[in-house]
Structure 1
Amino acid sequence: MPVGEQRIVRRLPSWSALVGAVLFYCLSFTPSLLPGPWLLQAAAGAITAFFGYGLGAFFGMVARRCGLLPSPAVRRAGWWLLAVVGGGSVVAITAWSVRRQGDLRRAVGLDPRIGWWQWALVLPVALLLGALLVLAARGVRLGTRTLREVLGRAVPGWAAAAGAAALAVVLVTGFVQGFLLRALLGAAERGAALTDRSTSPGTVRPELPTLSGSPESHESWDSLGKKGRDFVGRAPTAAQISAFTGRPAKDPVRAYVGLRSGEGVGLTDPERVLKERALRAVAELDRAGGFQRKVLALLVGPTPDNPLRTVITDGRAPGSPVWRPVYQDGRTVRFAQQTSDFTVPDAPRPQPRVVYLQNGSDPVVWWEPALIWSRPAWLNGQRAHDVSPTMRWYPLVTFWQVTFDLTASEAVPDGHGHRYRRMPIEAWARIVPPDGWTPQDTERLVAYLGEQP
């Protein structure tokens, strides 16, 4: 192997690359939506620093190509400055993150105390992961250079360079989207499904045809997963509802499609899989008789690609925040995170009624690729009560922060992250209250459901 090719992998990092890595590593510790475990923060720091390393290396290369080379004395001073200031900043920001995590945990109702010994491991683990990412990137560069030399024997130099560059772009894009991003999103999904194949004590397969997983359902009991089995297996009967309300009632309709729904149909593309699940959910709701009921409304923790929500949010009244938009004076649609949000604005609401429940700190609601290059509206102006006032948007950095937040979106108390327990009860009471229903009835129902396993 030529010496030049060996140096691609073995050479020491440049000053500009390390400056970029240090800067982005420090930015990765700035406040995000949710607190996270130390290992997650180490991974976030490593990946963010890796991108900073790449940007710094790029600008350093441009400077060298332009002949902007400092004198040896200046270079030595720069290395000393980086060692002292950069090294000190990395250690200080890692130590400071313990306090920052405590503040985030306190904001969502968790014990702010965390173990120092765990967070002492953040820096060494981040260094190891970052080094592995740099080695992988250098391996890609070495491979593309080798390919360019091989192609150069058969095609003009410009064509060989273009082909090698195209391959590098494909490999890097595939690495980011197919490995880093997909791995993180997969971790978030797996984190929510660690006990997916288990069943909570006291939960049994329903017999009512209006419930998914029943003998008449298109969805098998096993395919629902733990969350789905809890959702349908604990559904009250008409008799139980009547005993609570003192009025005649119908058996509830509960349709659910699990992560393992439709296994064996041969779909591998994520978008097609999601579309198939959505179609199965609609079919199951139709089978159970959901479309024959008078009320079908409530949307909990919607994602940014929800087209109806996008139209409503974009058409909100001037001055209303994106996390609680006011649309057409609240006549038809309202957004809420807390009970008090239902009175914003204080205007009458005729039927039909639609309610979106979205927590200000829910990364499922706010994650989108546009975070890479544009400041999100939910960080502008008035913020939701559980979003840190010190959180700032940084290109690329905030995208990775919210991506990592996805993996911990349910590891917080009710009313934060992607945890919605009480508010759906409040929402239904606002959307379609039974005759004579009072706030005391809502509290009684909340207490009753809170006693259930």
Structure 2
Amino acid sequence: MKMPRFYILALTLGLLFFAASLTPTLIPRGWVVQGALGGLLMALGYLIGRVALSIWRLLELPEATGRALTRLRVAIVLPFLILLVLCISQARDWQNGVRERMEMPPLETSHTAQMLALAILIFVLLFVLGLAVQWLFDRVRTRLYRYMPPRAANVAGLVVTGLLLLVVTRDGMLDRVIGTLDTSYTTAQALFETSPPIPEGVETGGADSLVDWSALGQPGRDYVTSGPKAADIAAFTGRAALQPIRVYVGLAEDKSPETRARIALEELRRQGGFQREVLIVALPTGTGWLDPGALDPVEYMHGGDVATVAAQYSYLQSPLALMLETDAGLDQAEALISAVHRYWRSLPKDNRPRLYVHGLSLGAWSSMYGTDLFALLDDPIDGALWVGAPFPSAKWRAVVASRNAGSPYVAPVLGEGRLVRFASNYQNALGPDGWGAMRIVYLQYASDPIVFYEPASVFRPPVWMTEPPAPDVSPEMRFMPIVTQFQLAVDMALATTAPAGYGHSYFGRDYVEPWVALTAPANWSAEDTKRLIAHCDSGFQIGCDHR
């Protein structure tokens, strides 16, 4: 079969995309991921080249032929091949640069041969798939030539081919999604008859509890049974401590988010949560998981005089919950925060706990939505700690957009820092001084693609790529239209594979200073902060797992 004219030039564009895919982004990539990404982008570049050629011919623009075509090919292909070789030779150093900033051991080898073989295989498979689609399109439009003019038949053929592909692939995609949901449900929960016996001494789900232990689910049971005990806290502080209160209502408790919120409120009241010094309304990630590294530190620094209440809204992994159950988290956050806030504001101001809102990842997004700022005007909560807020969060975007001139996009400064401050793995929240009536801290890592993914990066660089890079971001990052978009999408998929303290893996030690800044614990010193950070590093539940 004779290759179409300009095939070499289209392939050259594909190779350019492949070369660009080797450049570093936020999360380090192994050879398997890099090979798959490179093959996909090579095929995409080739497709764009072929489409450009089709448009050129459709417009009946002049085409090079003979020696002119040969010279054009050499002039374009040769520099690109040199660039490709240079990028391949630099690939391992680029990845090691990212790994070094994340305190990971360097790659001994980039497995270049395996990566190239995988990329070529992916490209060939996608190329064959493209030929199959082209064959289908040709068959459809040829049939339609009998009934309509060629131009109309071409358009109709394209539409029919698209519909056929949609019908053929739809069932497969739905099966995959449903399979993922089933797996997520079975592995993350263990409900009703499969639930383990309730441990002795656990309040939430116990004999007198308003919460059904068998409906809690695995994330809820882990949360209410884990965390520091009063004796652990007393051993750390050297002072008498209380047992922290942890209330959690599982999704299986009731179908209604309002009912789950009501049960959570009543259980919180039953356990005496409104008599504690600090009360935290926490929204979990998609599966119902709460990061112990986020909540253990604040319980230590307040001598256990803390109550936390949470309610589950999904069984799904956070990305799936965001796509398929968008309203579930928002409805639950609004119901729970409103219920707790209404009861809290009915109490005398001198006889109620300080009230804070907290969420990680999808929990941050939903709890930001559920925090009604208008309802807070006359009786505001004391503050919020939002961690790894996903990029679609409108409130986060609005806050970042209002940063001071010259303030970095990844580490904004707003006004004098009286209402909102940002913290990261290299920047603290500047302590408990200088705040106004309400305190809000955003904890985010500059290397977190869940936060800093930019949908518009198809054609223009994200703002943060136009600024000097943060300490945990490679200075070798370069923007390339289309390619960067795919690289950042892969980064999002790999975000939680980064070491603790980078990417979307938030580290217990990095919660300590934000909580100190927000809650200003009594009899707490800078030395205590250092000791608690060291305690986080030494061992209690500090990992990050967005199950």
> For the superposition of Structure 1 and Structure 2, which TM-score range results when normalised by the shorter chain?
0.7 to 0.9
Q: How does 1:46-65 map to 2 (within 5 A)?
A: 46-65=39-58
Matched, 1:294 2:354: yes
Matched, 1:209 2:201: no
Tell me the equivalent position of 2:524: 437
Tell me the equivalent position of 1:452: 540
Q: Contact conserved, 1:371 with 1:395, CA < 8 A, in 2? A: yes
Q: Pick one of 400, 405, 425 that aligns with 1:338.
A: 425
Counterpart-to-counterpart distance in 2, 1:69 and 1:372: 29
Q: Which amino acid aligns with 2:539?
A: E
Matched, 1:275 2:327: yes
Deviation larger for 322-331 or 139-148: 139-148
Q: Pick one of 92, 116, 136 that aligns with 2:129.
A: 136
Q: Contact conserved, 2:27 with 2:98, CA < 8 A, in 1? A: yes
Q: How does 1:150-165 map to 2 (within 5 A)?
A: 150-165=143-158
Q: Contact conserved, 1:337 with 1:357, CA < 8 A, in 2? A: yes
Q: Which amino acid aligns with 1:209?
A: T
The structural deviation recorded for 1:134 is 1.9
Q: Contact conserved, 2:433 with 2:517, CA < 8 A, in 1? A: no
The structural deviation recorded for 1:135 is 1.9
Which secondary structure state, in structure 2, belongs to the residue aligned with residue 334 of structure 1? strand
Tell me the equivalent position of 2:66: 72
Normalised by the size of structure 2, how large is the TM-score?
A: 0.67
Which secondary structure state, in structure 2, belongs to the residue aligned with residue 342 of structure 1? coil
Which secondary structure state, in structure 2, belongs to the residue aligned with residue 302 of structure 1? coil
Q: Contact conserved, 2:12 with 2:77, CA < 8 A, in 1? A: no
- Once the two structures are superposed, residues 182-212 of structure 1 have per-residue CA deviations (whole angstroms, 9 ceiling, x without a partner) of x99x99x99x9998689xxxx997733299x
Matched, 1:236 2:228: yes
The structural deviation recorded for 1:300 is 0.8
The structural deviation recorded for 1:115 is 2.7
Q: Which amino acid aligns with 2:93?
A: R
Structure 1 residues 95 and 290: alpha-carbon distance in aligned structure 2, compared to 1, 3 A threshold: farther
Structure 1 residues 98 and 262: alpha-carbon distance in aligned structure 2, compared to 1, 3 A threshold: closer
Q: Contact conserved, 2:198 with 2:213, CA < 8 A, in 1? A: no
Q: Which amino acid aligns with 1:294?
A: R
Which secondary structure state, in structure 2, belongs to the residue aligned with residue 356 of structure 1? strand
Higher share in strand: 2
Which secondary structure state, in structure 2, belongs to the residue aligned with residue 127 of structure 1? helix
Structure 1 residues 129 and 317: alpha-carbon distance in aligned structure 2, compared to 1, 3 A threshold: same
Matched, 1:42 2:32: no
Which secondary structure state, in structure 2, belongs to the residue aligned with residue 141 of structure 1? helix
Counterpart-to-counterpart distance in 2, 1:194 and 1:337: 35
Counterpart-to-counterpart distance in 2, 1:216 and 1:330: 40
Q: Pick one of 432, 435, 454 that aligns with 1:349.
A: 435
Q: How does 1:302-341 map to 2 (within 5 A)?
A: 302-338=389-425, 340-341=427-428
Tell me the equivalent position of 1:105: 99
Q: How does 1:252-271 map to 2 (within 5 A)?
A: 252-253=245-246, 256=284, 258-259=286-287, 271=323
- Once the two structures are superposed, residues 287-310 of structure 1 have per-residue CA deviations (whole angstroms, 9 ceiling, x without a partner) of 999985523211111011112111
Counterpart-to-counterpart distance in 1, 2:225 and 2:423: 28
Q: Which amino acid aligns with 1:127?
A: I
Which secondary structure state, in structure 2, belongs to the residue aligned with residue 419 of structure 1? coil
- Once the two structures are superposed, residues 219-254 of structure 1 have per-residue CA deviations (whole angstroms, 9 ceiling, x without a partner) of 945453xxx765554222455445544255462446
Tell me the equivalent position of 1:413: 499
Q: Contact conserved, 1:16 with 1:56, CA < 8 A, in 2? A: yes
Tell me the equivalent position of 2:511: 424
Counterpart-to-counterpart distance in 2, 1:104 and 1:114: 14
The structural deviation recorded for 1:93 is 2.1
Which secondary structure state, in structure 2, belongs to the residue aligned with residue 328 of structure 1? coil
Counterpart-to-counterpart distance in 2, 1:77 and 1:196: 61
Q: Pick one of 105, 109, 121 that aligns with 2:114.
A: 121
The structural deviation recorded for 1:448 is 2.6
Counterpart-to-counterpart distance in 2, 1:369 and 1:171: 28
Structure 1 residues 210 and 275: alpha-carbon distance in aligned structure 2, compared to 1, 3 A threshold: farther
Deviation larger for 43-52 or 155-164: 155-164
- Once the two structures are superposed, residues 119-164 of structure 1 have per-residue CA deviations (whole angstroms, 9 ceiling, x without a partner) of 3211111011011112222322322232223334344544433323
Q: Contact conserved, 1:414 with 1:420, CA < 8 A, in 2? A: yes
The structural deviation recorded for 1:318 is 1.3
Structure 1 residues 250 and 234: alpha-carbon distance in aligned structure 2, compared to 1, 3 A threshold: closer
Q: Which runs of 5+ in 2 are unaligned?
A: 191-195, 249-283, 289-312, 345-352, 357-383, 542-547
Q: Which amino acid aligns with 2:287?
A: L
Structure 1 residues 305 and 319: alpha-carbon distance in aligned structure 2, compared to 1, 3 A threshold: same
Deviation larger for 410-419 or 228-237: 228-237
Q: How many residues align?
A: 429
Structure 1 residues 178 and 279: alpha-carbon distance in aligned structure 2, compared to 1, 3 A threshold: farther
Q: Which amino acid aligns with 1:56?
A: G
Counterpart-to-counterpart distance in 2, 1:328 and 1:354: 13
Counterpart-to-counterpart distance in 2, 1:290 and 1:109: 46
Tell me the equivalent position of 1:94: 88
Q: Contact conserved, 2:17 with 2:45, CA < 8 A, in 1? A: yes
Tell me the equivalent position of 1:3: none
Q: Which amino acid aligns with 1:318?
A: A
Q: Which amino acid aligns with 2:413?
A: V
Tell me the equivalent position of 1:26: 19
